[in-house]
Structure formats: C-alpha cells, structure tokens
Structure 1
Amino acid sequence: MTVDERFAEKRRDEDDELVQGVRNEIVTGPVTDWATDFSHTEGEWAADPYPIQDDLRQRCPIARTERFGGGWLPTRYDDVAAIAYDTDRFSSRSIIMSNFRPPKEIAPVGGVPPISSDPPFHHDARKLLLPAFTKTEVGKREAATRAYCHSLIDAFGEREVVDAAGDYAQHIPVRVIADMLGFPPEDGQHFREFIENALEGVNRPPDERVAGMGKLFEYLLVQIRDHIDRPRDDLTSFLIDAELYGQKLTADHVAGTMALLLIAGIDTTWSAIGASLWHLARTPADRGRLVAEPGLLPTAMEEFLRAYAPVTMARLVKEDMSWHGVEMKAEDWVLLSFPAANRDPAQFERAGEVVIDREVNRHAAFGLGIHRCVGSHLARMELRVALEVWLERVPDFTLADPAAVTWATGQVRGPRTLPIRRL
C-alpha cells in the first residue's frame, strides 16, 4: 500500500469511527447547576471559569455531568494530579471531551500520539519527539521568532487600536510550528480553521465534524506528498522516515502526531500570549513594573501561566470503580482542569491573585504526569519573546473595550478577540 493509500484509509476509518461513536449529538444549553450539569463548552465558562471552579472546589470538588455521555470534573489540585499520574485506571486514548469516544482498540497508541497514548507505548512515542524540543533546539528558533514579532508590530502602522489576539498572538505559534513542520507559512488561516473544528467544534453535528477532520487530513496528505518528493530537514520528513521497534511509523502514527503538533502546538501558545497581554492591558501596575524591570519577566511569565493556564485535558475511565467518594463508570469522561488546579488555595498562597514576583510556582500549566507537555521549552520561548517584544514596542496600552474581548470555548481557553488601545 502506498503512502497516499495508507493516509486515505486512515481518514476513512476515522470518519467511520466518529459517526459510529457519537452518543449525543447536541450537548449545549444553559447550565442549571455546575455541580451536576457542568459544560466547559458554554459561553459562561469561556468568559470567566474561575468563580465557577472556586464554588465547585468548596461545595462539590468532583462535579458530575450527564452531557457528553457522562463525565466528571475534579477541581482540587490533589485530585487532578492523582488522576493525571494514574495511568492504570484512566486512559488517555481520547483527550478531547465530546460526544465521541474512540473504540478501546485504539489504545495504547491513540489517534494523536504521544498525547493520546497509554503506557507502555507512550514512553517510546514521546521519546521520538524529545530531540526536536530541547532547550538547545528551541534556542535556535528564538532570533527568527523575535524578528517575526517585530514584523507583526511593524504591520500595525499608525493604528491606535489593534487586536492583540488576531493581529499578534495568533500569528506567532502559527509561524513557528509551520517552520518546524516545513509547511507554507501563508497557510495560517487553514491552521486556525483546523483548530476551531477540533477544539471548539465538539457540539457540531457529526457530519460537520467529519468534514472538518477530512480537511485537516487532506491538508496533511498534501504536505506529506510534498515531503516525499522533496525531503528536507524538518519534523515532517523526520516523522516519515522515523522508526519505532525496527519499523517505520504507521500512517496513523505519522498523521496523528502531525495533527497534534499543528493543533495543540499552536492554540495553547497563542492563548497564553493573549491572556498575558489581556492581564497587562487591564493591570497598569504590573505592566509598568515589567517595563521598568524587564528582568522580572521570566518570573511573571510563570505566574501568567499559572493564573491563566490555557489547557484542560480529558481522560476516560477504564473500569467501573469508586474513586474518592464518587462512583465512576467505564467510559466516563474525566476533565482534568489544570486551570482549576492552579488556583487551588490548598496548593498556592493567594491562589486567586496574580502575583508577578511569585518565587515558588510549581504550577500545572503544562500538565502533570507522563503527558506533561513535550513542547514546554518551545512554548516558554514563544511566550517570553512575544511579551518582550510587545513591552519594548508597546510599553503603554489598555483594553480598548473590555466588553469586546471574547474567549475560546472548549478545552483550550484564550482570547479570540482582544482590542488593545496603544497609548
């Protein structure tokens, strides 16, 4: 079977699985009680989830919902950590909580390895990627990233009001990941569409989701063909040629990992950049201090990651069990809210405040356990450089219209529109 045929077969199989695996088509609608009917896809959660999480942590620290076919939401740091580290009872074969559960047979590889992989496969799949994401390799990309950030601000021209999300934050990881994968830099709009379908489109009808995933894999196939015809030194060529257990990676593995890098590697970082700029726009004291003390930025950056952690991951319960006082059933979802864990007062002093000089900050923004983000060095570099350049070029700014700020729904939260007024 040719490479083209293998990837086409993968897409057909995934389309079939999606249609067959849907339990409930629609999971939207007002939430009456977050303890018994939570939904991370609602606008109320996207706009400001922290009061909801704080309330649940006090009165119902492991919330329940019947949406998505049934699931749980722990809000205490210790509970989130315990599940993240427990690979015996919780599977990572699907990390997006929706109305679709992939078949158990997809484990231990999962659809987007290594983040969807269970042990023992996970260790070896993750190890393949580590060399590309070391501090040394990431450091080689810093100069180009800095230059690109400057070019984005140059493009603002004389505009007094700019969209710090759409005109700045969203472009930076798109360019970095496109360069790493060897994709055309002008394809950024396609990447944004893929991300919206995968992460924010979980409530769409199955045929729409299938169409969206089809576009993603069609795009990946075009890039794979191009790399087969013209091999070069990038991650796509590396994955096509890589071997595991003495054999080349399967088509599922290559396409899934490429999809993971394209989607997760972009949305998480642009969300962190946008949330940090949102905070600085509405907090003049912190903004002024960072402009005056640029050496404080790495510390402040970790606090932004803690307070505005963008990523929530899902797990699936493997077998019926009683867990910390609740009765979990096989195939129940568990939504691991790292943002909620990061604001647990039992773990952090002044947990609900943003303290930009916080010295001890063992946050969970990059996850916990074996699935801790393989690209954390890259994300930190992009966030630091993006903020350094912005504060250098735009030291004085504020929210142009706080009511006009919009936030992404779903499991990666960050500003989608962020009107900033340059002062």
Structure 2
Amino acid sequence: MTVDDRFARDYRETRADQSLGTRNEIITGPVSDWATDFSHLEPEWAADPYPIQDDLRQRCPIAHTGRFGGGWLPTRYEDVAAIAYDTEHFSSRAVVMSNFRPPRELAPVGGTPPISSDPPFHHDARKLLLPAFTKSAVVKREQATRTLCHSLIDAFEGRDVVDAAHDYAQYIPMRVIADMLGFPIEDAPLFREFIENTLEGVNLPPEERSARMGSLFDYLLAQIRDHVDNPRDDLTSYLIDAELYGRKLEPPHVAGTMALLLVAGIDTTWSAIGASLWHLAKTPRDRERLVAEPALLPTAMEEFLRAYAPVTMARLVREDVDWRGADMKGDDWVLLSFPAANRDPSQFERADEVVIDREVNRHAAFGLGIHRCVGSHLARMELRVALEVWLERIPDFSLHDPAAVTWSTGQVRGPRALPLRIG
C-alpha cells in the first residue's frame, strides 16, 4: 500500500467514525431570556454581544440554554479561566458548538489536534507545532507580510471607499497560512468557504454540515497527495514526515492539524485586523494619536485584542457535575467566551472602554490554559504589520456607512463587511 493509499483509507475511516457522533436538534430564533435560552448565532449577538454579556455577568454569570442539546455560558473571567484549566471535568474533543457531538472515542486526539486533544496526548501534539511558530520563525515572514499589505493598498488607487474586511484584512492571513502550508494562493476563495462552513455553518442540518466539512477534508487530502508526490520545505511536508511516539503521524492527525491551521489561522487574524480598523475608523482621537505616535501601536494592539477578542471556544462536559452551582450534564456544551472574560470589570479597570495606552493588560484573547493559541506570535505580527502599513499609507479614514458594517456569527466574531472612506 502506498503512502497515498494509506492517507486516503485512514482519512475515510476517520470521517465515517466522526459521522457517528450524537446528533441533537438545533433550535434557532429569537431569544426569550439570555440567562436561560442564550444563542450565540442570533443577529443581536453578532452585532453587539457586550451589553448581553455585561447583563449576564451581573445576574446570571453562568447562563444556560437548551439549544444544541444543552449548553452553558460563563461570563466572568474567573469562571472562564477555571474551566479552561480544568481538563478533568471538561474535554476539548470538540471546540465548535454544533448540532452534534463527536463520539467520545475520538478523545484524546480529537478531529483537529492539538486544539481538539486532551491530556496527555495534547502536550506532545502541540509540541510538534512549536518550532513553526516561534518568534524567530515568525520574524522570517514579516517582510513578505509587509510587502503583501502594501500591494493590497496599492490596489485601492482611484477609490475613495474600500471594504477593509473583504479587500484587506482577509487576504493577509490567507496568504501567510497558504505559504506556510504550501497551498496555492489562488485557492483563497475556497479557504473563505471552508471557514464559513466550519465556524458559521453550525445551524445547518447535520447531514449537510457533514457534507460541507467533507469538502474541506477532500481538499486537504488532495494537498497531502501532492506533497507526498512532491515534497517541499513547508508545514504540510513537515507534518507528513513528523513522528510521534516513534511512528509517523496518523493521516487523520495530519489532515486535522492542517484543517485547524487553515481555518483558525485565517479567521481569527482576519477578524482581529478588521475589528481594529473598525475601531480606528469610528474613533478619530485614537486613530490620530497612533498616526502621531506609531511607537504606541504594540500597546494599542494588545488593547484591541482585549476589547474585541474574536474567539470563543467550546468544551464538552465529561460527566455529570455540579460546577459552582451549575448542574452540568455529561456532554453538555460549555462556551468559553474569552471576549466576555476580557470585559469583566473585576479583572480590568475601565473594562468597557478601549484604552490604547493601557499598561497592564493580561487579556485572554489567545485563550487560557493548555490550549492557549500556539500561533499567537504569528497573529501578533500579522496584526501589527497590517495596522502599521495601513496607518502609514492611509492615515485618514472613517466609516463610510456604519449601518453597512456586518459581523460574523458563531464563535469567531469580526467584521465581514467594513466599508471605509479613505483619504
């Protein structure tokens, strides 16, 4: 059996196993009470979740919903942190809250290691990725990223209104991740489709969602085949050749990690860049100060990450447990809202304000616990360079039409349409 045959066989067997997960009817529509019926898919949550989170933090810090077969939403920093660190009661075998649960047999590896992995496997799977995301490795990608940002802005010539989300923010992580994985950059439209299917398509019927996810893994299998036939110096070839416990990685492990990098590595940074530009477009004093004091940008950038943290991660309750008064059942979902944690006034002074010169800022935008984002150095570099180049080239910009700004739904929140008037 060839390497290619082995990847295809093991990939199909794993996809079949994952399709056996417990399925639950999903209920969408207007929320009756956010404390007992929350839904992170509703338009008011996408548009502005912060007042809802503030209200819950005051009157019901761990909200509940019967949707998706049952789930919980802690909104205080201390609760989010405690669950993130508690691998005894909470499993990471699924991190996207959807209308079915993958079978428990997938643990401790999960479908997209290492983010879907539980201890002790998680530590070793994560360690494999660290060399690609060190500060020194990221520095080598900075000049290419800066050149890309300039070329994107060059394309704005002659326009007085641009969509900063669609025409700028999304392309930066797409190009960086495509280069890292050795994928054709002309496949970028497919990447956006994969992201939407994975993170925004959780309201689809299980069969349709499974089919759409299958298209992602079919694409990854094709890339793996190409890299087996034509090895090169990129992260895909590295994963194919990597060993764990004295043997090559299982094909589903390779494909799952590639899926994680492709989806999460693009959408989170795309959202952070877009949200930062949105804030500066609507807040002239902060924009003018950063143009005048470019050395302040790294500090301001951390505040944008705190205030507009894009990522919420899910966990599954392992077994029935009374957790701080919440009667959690086995396989209930728990949404770890890092955005809510970042606006907890017990953790941050002036938590509901964006303070671009905030000196102490131990935010949770990159997560907490063992699953803290392995790509945080890369994301910070992309965000910093994207903002540096934009502010250098376009120091004067504003929202063209605030009502035309739209935000993604689901567990990664960022602008999807961001029309800005430039010049």
Query: What TM-score comes out, normalization by structure 1 length?
Result: 0.98
Find the residue that maps to 1:398 and give its secondary structure.
Answer: strand
Shift of 1:14: 5.1
Shift of 1:15: 4.7
Q: Is the CA contact 2:19–2:102 (under 8 Å) kept in the aligned structure 1?
A: no
- The 5 Å alignment of 1:1-16 reads 1-13=1-13, 15-16=15-16
**Cα-to-partner distance string for 1:285-304 (whole Å, 9 max, x where unaligned):** 00000000000000000000
Shift of 1:207: 2.4
- Corresponding residue for residue 216 of structure 2: 216
* More moved, 336-345 vs 36-45: 36-45
- The 5 Å alignment of 1:8-407 reads 8-13=8-13, 15-17=15-17, 19-407=19-407
Find the residue that maps to 1:228 and give its secondary structure.
Answer: helix
Q: 1:227 to 1:360 in 2, by over 3 A?
A: same
Q: Which runs of 4+ in 1 moved over 2 A?
A: 1-27
**Cα-to-partner distance string for 1:252-276 (whole Å, 9 max, x where unaligned):** 1100000000000000000000000
Q: Is the CA contact 1:3–1:251 (under 8 Å) kept in the aligned structure 2?
A: no
**Cα-to-partner distance string for 1:37-92 (whole Å, 9 max, x where unaligned):** 00111111010000000000000000000001101000000000000001111100
Partner Cα separation in structure 2 for residue 68 and residue 11 of structure 1: 27
Residue correspondences, number: 423
Q: Is the CA contact 2:14–2:252 (under 8 Å) kept in the aligned structure 1?
A: no
Counterpart residue identity of residue 185, structure 1: I
Q: 1:321 to 1:342 in 2, by over 3 A?
A: same
* More moved, 99-108 vs 75-84: 99-108
Shift of 1:100: 1.2
Partner Cα separation in structure 2 for residue 14 and residue 44 of structure 1: 37
Q: Give the aligned CA root-mean-square deviation in angstroms.
A: 1.1
Partner Cα separation in structure 1 for residue 10 and residue 169 of structure 2: 33
Q: Is the CA contact 2:23–2:206 (under 8 Å) kept in the aligned structure 1?
A: no
Partner Cα separation in structure 1 for residue 68 and residue 28 of structure 2: 10
Shift of 1:222: 1.3
* More moved, 49-58 vs 209-218: 209-218
Counterpart residue identity of residue 56, structure 1: L
* Stretches of structure 2 lacking an aligned partner (at least 5 in a row): none
Shift of 1:16: 3.8
Partner Cα separation in structure 2 for residue 228 and residue 16 of structure 1: 24
Shift of 1:25: 3.8
Q: Is the CA contact 1:25–1:204 (under 8 Å) kept in the aligned structure 2?
A: no
Shift of 1:6: 3.7
Partner Cα separation in structure 2 for residue 228 and residue 400 of structure 1: 48
Partner Cα separation in structure 1 for residue 170 and residue 212 of structure 2: 20
Find the residue that maps to 2:421 and give its secondary structure.
Answer: strand
Counterpart residue identity of residue 222, structure 1: A
* Stretches of structure 1 lacking an aligned partner (at least 5 in a row): none
Q: Is the CA contact 1:18–1:100 (under 8 Å) kept in the aligned structure 2?
A: no
Find the residue that maps to 2:265 and give its secondary structure.
Answer: helix
Partner Cα separation in structure 1 for residue 143 and residue 268 of structure 2: 21
Partner Cα separation in structure 2 for residue 348 and residue 10 of structure 1: 47
Partner Cα separation in structure 1 for residue 272 and residue 203 of structure 2: 24
Partner Cα separation in structure 2 for residue 422 and residue 415 of structure 1: 17
Counterpart residue identity of residue 165, structure 1: A
Q: 1:18 to 1:34 in 2, by over 3 A?
A: farther
Q: Is the CA contact 1:164–1:420 (under 8 Å) kept in the aligned structure 2?
A: yes
Q: Percent identity?
A: 81
Counterpart residue identity of residue 35, structure 1: A
Find the residue that maps to 2:100 and give its secondary structure.
Answer: coil
Query: What TM-score comes out, normalization by structure 2 length?
Result: 0.98
Find the residue that maps to 1:416 and give its secondary structure.
Answer: strand
Shift of 1:111: 0.5
Counterpart residue identity of residue 73, structure 2: L
Q: 1:14 to 1:33 in 2, by over 3 A?
A: farther
Q: Is the CA contact 1:84–1:336 (under 8 Å) kept in the aligned structure 2?
A: yes
Shift of 1:23: 2.8
Shift of 1:11: 4.7
Partner Cα separation in structure 1 for residue 25 and residue 18 of structure 2: 11
* More moved, 78-87 vs 212-221: 212-221
